Structure 1
């Protein structure tokens, strides 16, 4: 029997009371703080977007600050409050919560709520991650492109309220999982940095002695893919639509025809996808959102993939309202071209390194994925109780 089971048997053997969030706390909307108000020092401040991108289950320090004159007009969260981002383009991310555990008050932007409650702060934040919370939350989400949930709706969601000793023991267990995951993420990030450093050294400094500088257009054939209607793309392969369809961000789905039947590389050519590099082979369809790259001369396609990735072609996009990569401009960009024997050696080495830091079926990515699945399983299990009935 675990320590949590022992505590439940001792303190609440008949079950756990479930209460609406509105009965154990109060939701207050943040207001007034804009991105332009953020500073590098001053009063601790959190913009709702940072909850999505920067903060985890809890935080003791803020990434940003604001002026005292601005903070004086805003609502303040206190130690133990939850900071909740209530808008997102992704339903799963709506109502992402961080427990504020810093020693000072923090101000919060709009599109977010401060939740002041009576429970253990981390217990509350872990609950906001759980399947139990997500399942209840979905019916309250509204909006089309931007999805949102209101404080009044969140107040209706029910949470198990075990004794404080049980809450703290659950937090202690889940904190261990969180720490292990953070350590794996840090190690994986370090490996990725090593890989990028080695790729840069191998494809720049190492090639200088044996390579010659020529335009990309002399090494590769480059052309934009062909437009296809979104309605013609299937999410999964079928007998009628068996061919992978690639755009500027990689695989988009499957279609009924193909326009390439060879090893190719794609470079994203529009908007935020400019410079993204992907590769594929066989019968595939390439859309107009990608520059399709095929060899003109002796080229190892693994070397080409890593070479174009290292070159950061995004820097050559047009400076306009809708930035993009012009195929003619990309062809003029010069690169180091090395003998095919060196290409094959470099491509093989870099493929192995890339696999170690990217392939979710082996190495650190696989271990991290397994750890996350384990954490999610135990989190949901630990936050599920027999409900107390009258």
Structure 2
């Protein structure tokens, strides 16, 4: 029997009380910061953060010399990322996009944090005007309140899961920085580099492309590619082999939220929003793919409303290409980093996802209590 089982058997064998949130907490809505308490820059006097939504790296809206919340609390995002829950153990000043829970009774705030995380996607906020979570929407939420030792043991167990996920996430961030460092270094310092253009090392197959409107496509299992990847699956194909697709148009050429160059293999259909290049060697194709995804293409892009990388400008891009053995060496090194940083089946992202699912599974089990009948 685990320590938690022993505590439950001893302290709450017949279930636990469920109380409305406003029984256990003062629920405080964020407000405007008076001008005299506000500073855009951090100083010795103005060093208390002003927080908006619940996500740490997007929540700083300036600094104040007067904290509205001074004791540990739970914050819930009221707009934007509605429901996002954070645990705060430092003074801060919340503004209008934030709700704050400060305890009225003795309890484990970390226990409450995990409970509120478990329901952060369940708020029924009307989608009219500017959707906003308000105090009346949450004050009657029922929270199970087992005895304090039980709360603390549950918090300890769940904290272990979140700390491991945080460690893995920090490692992933470090690996990505390392990846970028080595990528830039290898592309600039490789032996025997010659500046070449794509039309001298690859065959452009754009003339075979054929766009088909969604209503005219026959459903099948052949990938139908556009500027940023697969957009559909169709019955027929126009290419069969190994190719590098490069975005020809679209906002992603500027935003770069997904790679603008991506390798594809096998039978495929491509519309006229992606260039299609064929290379003689895998190493060259992969090298060019990595290089194009690492550089700023703005000088080669035309059009403001509809960004476009036409074939002429694509061919003007200079590729610092070493000899084939050096290309292969660089690709081998960067492929290992890429797998570690981005592979959702074997790399760090896969492990982080597995730990998160494990945390959510145990969170649901540990926070489910039979309600004690009065």
> TM-score, with normalisation over the residues of structure 1?
0.77
Aligned equivalent of 1:44, options 44, 48, 51: 48
Aligned partner (choices 235, 244, 256) of residue 265 of structure 1: 244
Hey, what does 1:111 align to over in structure 2? 97
After superposing the two structures, state which structure 1 stretch, 214-223 or 179-188, moved more. 214-223
Gaps of 5+ in 2: none
Q: CA deviation at 1:205?
A: 0.6
Structure 1's 336 and 114: CA in aligned 2 closer, same or farther, altered over 3 A?
Answer: same
Q: Which runs of 5+ in 1 are unaligned?
A: 56-61, 234-238
Query: Cα deviations across residues 240-274 of structure 1 (Å, max 9, x unaligned)?
Result: 23222344443444345555433333445433553
Check conservation: 1:82, 1:98, Cα contact below 8 A.
Answer: yes
Partner of 1:59: none
Match of 1:338 in 2: 322
Q: State the structure with more CA Rg.
A: 2
Counterpart among 297, 308, 312 of residue 313 in structure 1: 297
How big is the shift at 1:362? 2.2
CA distance in 1, matches of 2:214, 2:129: 17
- Quote the residue 1:212 is aligned against: 194
- The aligned runs of 1:141-290 (5 Å cut-off) are 141-143=125-127, 148-206=132-190, 209-220=191-202, 221=204, 240-256=219-235, 258=237, 260-268=239-247, 269-272=249-252, 274=254, 275=256, 276=259, 277-286=261-270, 290=273
- Change in 2 beyond 3 A, CA 1:322/1:21: farther
SS of equivalent residue, structure 2 residue 219: coil
User: Does residue 28 in structure 1 map to residue 28 in structure 2?
Assistant: yes
Structure 1 CA distance for aligned equivalents of residues 290 and 143 of structure 2: 49
RMSD over equivalenced CA pairs, Å: 3.6
Change in CA separation of 1:333 and 1:169 when aligned onto 2, cut-off 3 Å = same
SS across alignment from 1:15? coil
* Residues 38, 45 of structure 1: 8 Å contact kept: no
Q: Name whichever of 375-384 and 341-350 sits farther off.
A: 341-350
Contact kept in structure 1, 2:52 and 2:60, CA below 8 Å? no
Farther-moved stretch of structure 1 (213-222 vs 166-175): 213-222
Give the paired residue count: 359
Question: In the TM superposition, what is the alpha-carbon distance from 1:98 to its structure 2 partner?
Answer: 0.9
Q: Is the 8 A contact 2:41 2:63 kept in 1?
A: yes
* 3-state SS of paired residue (2:15): coil
Q: Cα distance, 1:232 vs. partner?
A: 7.6
> What is the TM-score when the length of structure 2 is the normalising length?
0.80
